[in-house]
A = this chain, B = another copy of it.
Amino acid sequence: MDISIGELSRRAGVKVPTIRYYEQVGLMPLPSRSEAQQRRYGEPEVARLNFIRHARELGFEMDAIRELLALSSDPERPCGDVDRIARRHMAEVEKRIRKLTALRGELRRMIGECGQGRVGECRVIQTLADPSHDHGRLADH
């Protein structure tokens, strides 16, 4: 117990300002304070912050992490909700992969057609200037 924010940072692999930010947005609880008003944490906070970091690394959004944290606090609850959140996120990831793969294809084609001549005949520029393409809404990466 009685861990400073710096040590929590080292133990969970999350930067100090990020921890304070998580506190601000309610992902981390308001910690107790030392006499000099410094934050003090314990093992539960280390675990919680590790959970958050790992979920962020897997690309879960903060709202989803909030849900997952709430769900994980009740071990008796059936884990259908957890599963649903994870599947929803995976569907998002797969969508982004499809989108990026399509982009890569078009970029590859475009670059392959560039004959290294002058900009006036450059296929890259011409492709970009051609208004007939439409890839639906602007990309979300």
Contact = CB atoms under 8 A, between A and B. Distances in A.
B90 A138 contact: no
A129 B47 contact: yes
B128 A51 contact: yes
Number of identical protomers = 2
B122 A57 contact: no
A79 B139 contact: no
A77 B111 CA distance: 17
Contact of A12 (B13, B90, B121, B131): B131
A89 to B, nearest CB: 7
Contacts of A117: 78-79
Interface stretch (A1-9, A26-34, A98-106): A98-106
Interface string A64-77: 00001001101111
Contacts of A100: 59, 93, 96-97, 100
Interface of A: 12-13, 46-47, 50-51, 53-59, 68, 71-72, 74-80, 82-83, 86-87, 89-90, 93-94, 96-97, 100-101, 103-104, 106-108, 110-111, 114, 116-122, 124-125, 127-131, 133-136, 138-139, 141
Given A58-B106, A97-B97, 6 more contacts: A13-B134, A59-B139, A72-B119, A79-B121, A90-B107, A97-B101
